[in-house]
Amino acid sequence: MLNRPSAHAIAVKRDMRTSLFKQWAMGALIGFGALWAGSEVFAESHEVIIESHGFNEYGDLKYGPDFKHLDYVNPDAPIGGEISIATTGTFDSMNPYATLSGTPAALSSSVWETILTTTSDEVGSVYCLLCETMAYPEDKSWVIFNFREGVRFSDGTPMTAEDVKFTIELFLEQGTPSAAGSIRLLVKDIEVLEGNAIRVTFNEDAPIRGRISQMGIFPVMSKAWFEETGSRLDESSLEVSPGTAEYVLGSMDVGRSVTYTRNPDYWGQDLPINVGRGNYDSIRIEYFADSSAGFEAFKAGEFTFRRESSSINWATSYDFTAIDNGWVVREELDDGTLPGATGFIFNMNRAKFADRRVRRALGLVYNFTWTNENLQYGLFQQRESFWENDRLKAVGLPEGRELEILESLRDKLPEEIFTQEAFVPHTSGDRPIDRRNLRSALVLMEGAGWTTGDDGLLRDADGNTLDVEFLETRQAFDRIINPYIENLKRLGVNVTYNRVDPSQYQARRQAKDYDMIFGTYTTGLLEGRGFSQRFGCENTNDIFNPGAYCSEAIEVIGDLLPEAESYEEMAALIKAADRIMRYDYFVVPVWYLGKHWVARYDFYEYPENLPEFGLGHLDYWWVNQDKYNDLVAAGAFQ
C-alpha cells in the first residue's frame, strides 16, 4: 500500500519545496542541467567565476564556444514553403500559461524564446540563445546572463534585461501557484546590470542543482506590451504578446486552424545554434473532431505531414490514391527518446483504489499479448518501466547505490521491494480473457474484501458494488479499450465506458473528475526538480500527476534528486523510484513503440544523420520546392 504523508507533513514540505512550472516548462526541464567551464576568471574576493556559452549539470558540453552549427542539421537547407500538420479537439485561447482557463492552441508558446535552449543530440546540455554568455561562481549562488545585442521582439522593439526581469516577476505574480512558488523558493533578488545583463541571486536554502537551468527556461515577454494593454498571464486570450522567436502568429480560425509565419526580421537567423533550423515560411495546424476525420483530410491533401499513432491505420489504411501515385511516402524512423509512461491510470484520490490488491486485480485482466497481436498487428513492445531505457530502468534485485538508497527508506517500503525483482507486467495468453490471470485477480479481490455476488458483480462487506467509470474522448481508441472493459466486467467490476467530447474531457481531467483514464506520465533521461511536480504529494491535483500519486518514499527521493552530484547518483535515485512506483502499480502499463511512424507528401526532406532525441520535422526538416511544384502540377492537393 502507498504511504501517504500526513497533511501536516505535506504542509511542512510545501514551505521547503515547491514544484516546477506548468506545461510550458516541462519539456525543457526534462533535458536541462548545469556546469560547463568555458573559462574561469577571479573576482576581487578570489572567488572563481565561470563564464561560458552553455551549461551541463553533470558533464561537458558537446559543442564548444566556436561551433558553427549543430552536427545533425543541414546548414545549407533551403528556407521556404509550408509544413501543415493536424491535431484533434479545439482551442479558444492563444495563452498557453493560463492553464486553469481556456484551451490553448497548439504551439502557442512557440512565439516566445527562452534565455537558454536545448539540443537533440545530448542529455542535459543547454546553450545561450537570448544570452551571449553566462557567468556564475562555483557555488552557484548567483548567475549573470549577458544578453545579445540586436535581439528584437516581433513588433520591432528591442528586448532588454528589463523585459527579462519583468517576465520573471510576471510569473511570480500571475503564474500558476507552482510556478510562482518555484520562483519564490529559488530567487532572492533580480538586478538589471549595465550592458544589458541581469543578475539573479539565489536563496541560500534553494537546492543548488538546477538553479541556473531553471532560470534559463523563462519565455521572455515584452514589458511594454503588457503595460500598454493591461493583459494578464493568468487569463485566457486570443491576443498574443510580441515574442522574439522566428515565428509569429499569422492567422487563425478559432477552434479550427492556426498558422504561424516566419518573421522576416527575425534577429537570430544566423546564430550557430539556429543554422539549418526553422526552415519553413509557415507552420499550419488543422484541427479535426477526431483522428478518423483527420486521416481522411490527410488522404485528400488538406495537410501534408502526419505522425501516425494508430497501429490499425499504419498496418491497413495506407492504400489510398496518393500512396498509389507515389505522392505520399511512409517511413519508420528511429526514436531514441524516452517513451512516455503510458497506461490505464487509476485516480488515487478515489478511495476505491486505495488497496494495491484492487489495482493489481484490475490490471491483471488487461491482456497485452492478445491486444498487441490481434488489434495492434504485433507492432509494439510491452512497457515495464517508467523510464524504459537502459540508463535509468530498475532491473532485477536492487544492488549497489540503488540498494543503499532503498535501505535508507526501508521503514517506508514493503519488504517485497528488497526481496523481489523489479516488478514486470504479467504475461497473458492468446485469448481475450486469460483465465489464469482472471482467477488470480479474483483471489486478490477476495483478499481485499470483495466477493462475487449472485449477479456476478463484486461487492464489499456492505454490499456495495465496485463502480468504475472509464473516461475517454477518442473514438478511435474504442477498439483498444472495449476488450479491456469487457474483461473488467468478467471480473465483476461495475464498469462504464464514458466517451465525451474533447472540451468536456479536458475540463474533467483538469478537475480530476474521473476514476480511470488512458494517459501518460512524462519522464526524462535527466531528472531533477520537475520530478516532484509529476510524482509529489503536494501535486496530487496537478494535471501532470494524473494518478494523484503520493508516496512518502518518493517524496524523499524527490528531495534528493536536485542535490545529486553526478549522473550516476541521479540514475541510482531514479532506479529506486522506478522500482517503488512499479510496485505501487498506480498505472497499468501498456505498450511502447521506439519508432516514429511518419507519412508525408513527398516534398519534405531531412538531414541524413537525424539525432537520437528528436524527429525535428518542425525544426530542421525543409521543403524541396521543385518536388512540391511537381505534386501541385499532378493534382496531389485539394
Ordered by where they begin, the domains of the chain are 31-67+113-229 (3.40.190.10), 247-336+594-634 (3.40.190.10), 341-592 (3.10.105.10)
Which conformational region is residue 463 in: left (phi greater than 0), alpha (psi within -120 to 50 degrees), or beta?
left
pLDDT of residue 177: 82
pLDDT of residue 291: 87
8 Å CB contact between 611 and 400: no
Scanning 493-566, the segments in alpha helix (DSSP H) are 502-510, 531-535, 552-560
Instruction: Please give the single-letter amino acid code of residue 239.
Output: E
Residues of the chain with pLDDT under 70: 1-46
CA separation for the pair 147, 382 (Å, rounded): 47
pLDDT of residue 1: 43
pLDDT of residue 46: 64
Span 483-495, pLDDT tens digits:
999 999 999 999 9
Which residues sit opposite 202 in a β-bridge? Answer: 187
What does the DSSP 8-state code read for residue 562?
G
CA atoms 77, 82, 88, 94: torsion sign: positive
8 Å CB contact between 67 and 272: yes
Please, which residues have CB within 8 angstroms of residue 296's CB and are 6 or more apart in sequence?
Answer: none
Which residues sit opposite 7 in a β-bridge? Answer: none
CA separation for the pair 140, 554 (Å, rounded): 27
pLDDT of residue 11: 37
Pairing of strands 494-499, 467-472: parallel
8 Å CB contact between 540 and 345: no
